[in-house]
Structure 1
Amino acid sequence: MSTNDLDQSAAELGMGGNLAPESDDAGYRKRMERRQQVQKQRVEERNKEKGLILVFTGQGKGKTTAGLGLVLRTLGHGERVAIVQFIKGGWEPGEARALKAFGDQVRWHALGEGFTWETQDRERDQQLVERAWQTALEYLRDGAVKLVLLDELNVALKLGYIDAATVIHGLKERPTLTHVAVTGRGAPAELVDAADLVTEMTLIHHPFREQGVKAQAGIEF
């Protein structure tokens, strides 16, 4: 069976549980045995390994959090990680403090000075983004770094402080097995097209907007 056929078969067999149509245990086990076989084939067919471009964007909360989850997972495998924050800076979030426990295994650079309404200086913001990008390039080219997190780079792109072509060219300079995660709302179409995985966070509820709840330690920073 082709990979498309296997995917279709997996979808038809379903996830099981109470979603399965069988009411008898024997029929249910037969369905799940077949589902297990199909899943095993799907995994065996997909055996390539490559460095990925992962983009987390959208209006909803959780983009940086997703990137940091990848950071923690990579560190847990004993690999080195670099984090370059665009826009953000001027304060030390809880995750920066926590990651100090990993010592030289992780490099953290918060190279922004805050949101545009805080800095109020476009020229200075532009310079900081350029500096952050040069720092990012150093890590992207370093084969000893397994994952590079470019936090809020999408925002810098959206604000016009760096262009998508420059970013995509830089991402292509990384070694074959180096992963890069890019976060921030407003990811440009060019970056989305170049990415291997794109997740869009959807805003449904937000306590700041709807309830007047302030940013809280452990949730926002």
Structure 2
Amino acid sequence: MLLIFTGNGKGKTSSAVGIALRAWGQGKRVLFVSFLKGNNRAGEFKAIRCLNTPFFKVYSFGRECPYSEADCCPGKRECIVYGDNISAGDYQRVQQGLDLVGREMAAGDWDLIVLDEMVNVFNLFPACRETILKLMNGRKPGMDMVLTGRNCSPELAAQADLISELVAVRHPFSRGSKAKRGIDY
């Protein structure tokens, strides 16, 4: 099954983590690969690493936060990849992540593969689109996949068995609140 969590609302990664934990709890082997963001701040990555099991692995291919000790970003969100600030390093990290996913899929050791922010990679890195589609279509029987990210393209949506769109109805950010540890990261 191919699942996509998309939309402008909060909870895409959280939903994917929930499914990943549910699958692992049911004896499934889970590979969780995050793109475009580092893993030195997010609570979900810290928690998964604490499981300390070869049956649930997490990798990150994104910019690390330079303010890892701060409660909230005091900078200019320089750890977030946007269309107008893509660097050669971002492309290299994306390519490394896609290569890892390809190798892991070929090995066939995983029941569920989560590709966090893959919808955004598809949108921001056109040169990677063919590889992403090959990965999506290269799943072995019984292997499920979850993709997350904003603005799911019709091309990706056409491949999905399930699409959930998270819609922002109200968010503290719109009132000037900062990200909250344990809720937003």
TM over 0.5: yes
2:43 maps to amino acid: G
Give RMSD over aligned pairs.
1.8
Task: Give the TM-score taking structure 2 as reference length.
Answer: 0.84
Instruction: List alignment gaps of at least 5 residues for structure 1.
Output: 1-51
Query: Shift of residue 96 of structure 1?
Result: 1.5
Letter in 2 for 1:219: I
Instruction: Report the equivalent of 1:197.
Output: 162
> Between Structure 1 and Structure 2, how many residues are aligned?
168
- 2:18 alignment partner, one of 45, 51, 69: 69
In the TM superposition, structure 1's runs of 4+ consecutive aligned residues that sit over 4 Å from their partners are none
Contact map agreement 1:126 1:161 (CA 8 A) in 2: no
Task: Give the structure 2 partner of residue 21 of structure 1.
Answer: none
Query: Which consecutive unaligned segments of at least 5 residues does structure 2 have?
Result: 64-78
| Pairing 1:78–2:43 present | no
Q: Does 1:101 align with 2:46?
A: no
Q: TM-score, normalised by structure 1?
A: 0.71
Q: 1:154 to 1:162 in 2, by over 3 A?
A: farther
1:54 partner SS = strand
1:112 aligns with 2:62: yes
CA contact (8 A) 2:10 2:166 kept: yes
The aligned residue for residue 149 of structure 1 is 114
Structure number with greater CO (CA < 8 Å, separation at least 6) is 2
Once the two structures are aligned, what percentage of the paired residues are identical? 31
Equivalent position of 1:167 in the other structure: 132
Structure index of larger Rg: 1
Q: What displacement does 1:67 show?
A: 0.4
Query: Whole-Å Cα distance in 2 between the matches of residues 179 and 58 of structure 1?
Result: 21
Residue 121 of structure 1: CA displacement? 4.8
